[in-house]
Structure 1
Amino acid sequence: MIEISDSLRSLFSAQIEERDGSYVVDIPSNEVEHDTLAVDETYRIAVL
Protein backbone atom coordinates (compact mmCIF):
# COMPACT_ATOMS: atom_id res chain seq x y z
CA MET A 1 0.00 0.00 0.00
CA ILE A 2 1.23 3.50 -0.85
CA GLU A 3 1.43 5.99 2.00
CA ILE A 4 -0.01 9.37 1.04
CA SER A 5 1.24 12.39 2.98
CA ASP A 6 -1.19 14.56 4.94
CA SER A 7 0.32 17.54 3.11
CA LEU A 8 -1.15 16.37 -0.23
CA ARG A 9 -2.60 19.47 -1.88
CA SER A 10 -3.96 18.07 -5.12
CA LEU A 11 -4.74 14.82 -6.90
CA PHE A 12 -5.60 14.57 -10.60
CA SER A 13 -4.91 12.44 -13.66
CA ALA A 14 -2.94 13.72 -16.63
CA GLN A 15 -1.03 12.43 -19.63
CA ILE A 16 2.65 13.08 -20.21
CA GLU A 17 3.24 14.97 -23.48
CA GLU A 18 6.43 15.68 -25.41
CA ARG A 19 7.04 19.34 -26.29
CA ASP A 20 10.22 20.66 -27.85
CA GLY A 21 12.34 17.78 -26.57
CA SER A 22 10.97 17.90 -23.00
CA TYR A 23 8.18 16.00 -21.30
CA VAL A 24 5.30 17.98 -19.80
CA VAL A 25 2.43 17.23 -17.43
CA ASP A 26 -0.32 19.85 -17.80
CA ILE A 27 -1.91 21.05 -14.56
CA PRO A 28 -5.70 21.45 -14.80
CA SER A 29 -6.65 25.15 -14.72
CA ASN A 30 -9.09 24.62 -11.84
CA GLU A 31 -6.14 23.71 -9.57
CA VAL A 32 -4.88 27.29 -9.96
CA GLU A 33 -8.30 28.97 -10.17
CA HIS A 34 -9.36 27.45 -6.82
CA ASP A 35 -6.04 28.43 -5.15
CA THR A 36 -4.95 24.82 -4.70
CA LEU A 37 -1.74 25.60 -6.60
CA ALA A 38 -0.12 28.91 -7.52
CA VAL A 39 1.74 30.05 -10.62
CA ASP A 40 5.51 30.56 -10.15
CA GLU A 41 5.67 28.20 -7.14
CA THR A 42 7.67 24.97 -7.00
CA TYR A 43 5.93 21.71 -6.08
CA ARG A 44 7.01 18.12 -5.58
CA ILE A 45 5.00 15.66 -7.62
CA ALA A 46 4.59 11.89 -7.53
CA VAL A 47 3.71 9.58 -10.38
CA LEU A 48 1.61 6.56 -9.47
Structure 2
Amino acid sequence: METEQFKIRLPSDAKAFIKAEAERNASSQTSEIVRCIRDRMDRETKTTTSAN
Protein backbone atom coordinates (compact mmCIF):
# COMPACT_ATOMS: atom_id res chain seq x y z
CA MET A 1 0.00 0.00 0.00
CA GLU A 2 1.35 3.38 -0.98
CA THR A 3 1.01 6.22 1.49
CA GLU A 4 0.85 9.98 1.20
CA GLN A 5 1.78 12.51 3.84
CA PHE A 6 0.07 15.83 4.41
CA LYS A 7 -0.62 18.32 7.18
CA ILE A 8 -4.12 18.68 8.54
CA ARG A 9 -5.63 21.37 10.72
CA LEU A 10 -8.18 20.17 13.24
CA PRO A 11 -10.34 22.00 15.74
CA SER A 12 -9.08 21.48 19.28
CA ASP A 13 -12.02 19.25 20.25
CA ALA A 14 -11.49 16.97 17.23
CA LYS A 15 -7.77 16.70 18.04
CA ALA A 16 -8.56 15.85 21.66
CA PHE A 17 -11.04 13.19 20.51
CA ILE A 18 -8.49 11.59 18.17
CA LYS A 19 -5.85 11.63 20.89
CA ALA A 20 -8.21 10.05 23.45
CA GLU A 21 -9.34 7.37 20.99
CA ALA A 22 -5.74 6.54 20.14
CA GLU A 23 -4.90 6.13 23.81
CA ARG A 24 -8.05 4.07 24.46
CA ASN A 25 -7.31 1.77 21.52
CA ALA A 26 -3.54 1.65 22.09
CA SER A 27 -2.99 2.93 18.57
CA SER A 28 -1.54 5.97 16.88
CA GLN A 29 -3.45 9.13 16.13
CA THR A 30 -2.80 8.48 12.44
CA SER A 31 -4.44 5.05 12.76
CA GLU A 32 -7.49 6.64 14.37
CA ILE A 33 -7.83 9.21 11.60
CA VAL A 34 -7.50 6.49 8.94
CA ARG A 35 -10.07 4.37 10.79
CA CYS A 36 -12.54 7.28 10.76
CA ILE A 37 -11.99 7.89 7.06
CA ARG A 38 -12.34 4.20 6.20
CA ASP A 39 -15.55 3.95 8.26
CA ARG A 40 -16.97 6.87 6.29
CA MET A 41 -15.82 5.32 3.01
CA ASP A 42 -17.59 2.07 3.94
CA ARG A 43 -20.82 3.91 4.83
CA GLU A 44 -20.73 5.89 1.59
CA THR A 45 -20.15 2.73 -0.43
CA LYS A 46 -23.07 0.95 1.28
CA THR A 47 -25.33 3.97 0.72
CA THR A 48 -24.38 4.16 -2.96
CA THR A 49 -24.79 0.41 -3.42
CA SER A 50 -28.17 0.40 -1.66
CA ALA A 51 -29.45 3.26 -3.83
CA ASN A 52 -28.82 1.27 -7.02
- TMscore range, shorter length: under 0.3
Which structure has more strand as a fraction of its residues? 1
TM-score for both structures, normalised by structure 2: 0.21
| Larger gyration radius, structure 1 or structure 2 | 2
Structure number having the greater helix percentage = 2
TM normalised by structure 1 equals 0.22
- Higher RCO (CA 8 Å, separation ≥ 6 residues): 1
